[in-house]
Structure 1
Amino acid sequence: MPNSPWQKSSYSGANSECVEVRAIAGVIELRESDEGDVIVRTTAPNFAALLQGAKAGEFDCLATSRA
């Protein structure tokens, strides 16, 4: 599989701990920058649904919970 550059959110700032994403061979891949060997793969439609839900605030409760 050819290499594709990872992108991180501008919200990550100077912090090296962030979620990175890339599109490769028709698949969307996500990983945490500090655990680069663990990659989650999904389809573009599923990733779009995740982004839509995040933008709508559907997951805000998870950001403040202490799991």
Structure 2
Amino acid sequence: MTSSAWQKSRYSASSDNCVEVRSIGGSLEVRESDDADIVVRTTCLKFAKFLQGAKAGEFDHLITNA
């Protein structure tokens, strides 16, 4: 990702309720589309490691079926 434009997952379809990401210099920013004033900034490497952990199920215990 080399653009500074916000990008959402294609899985979000037309929903406005999604997570968006963008690359700014060497950093990656993440925000929720319905609360765009709150932005989390991290490195691309740390975000990639987080995604690997999420795909591997490392955070599944945090999700409740309430």
Distance 1:39 1:16 in 2: 16
Compute the RMSD of aligned alpha carbons: 1.7
Q: Could you tell me which amino acid in structure 1 is paired with residue 39 of structure 2?
A: I
Cα distance, 1:34 vs. partner? Answer: 0.6
CA distance 1:21–1:62, shift in 2 (3 Å): same
In percent, how many aligned pairs have the same letter?
59
Partner of 1:31: 31
TM-score computed with the length of structure 1 as normaliser = 0.81
Give the unaligned 5+ runs of structure 2. Answer: none
Greater fraction strand: 1
Superimposed CA distance per residue, residues 16-66 of structure 1 (whole angstroms, 9 cap, x where no aligned partner): 100000111110000000111110000111101111011112122323355
Long gaps (5+) in structure 1: none
The structure 1 segments of at least 4 consecutive aligned residues displaced by more than 3 Å after TM superposition are none
**In the aligned structure 1, how far is the partner of 2:9 from the partner of 2:59?**
17
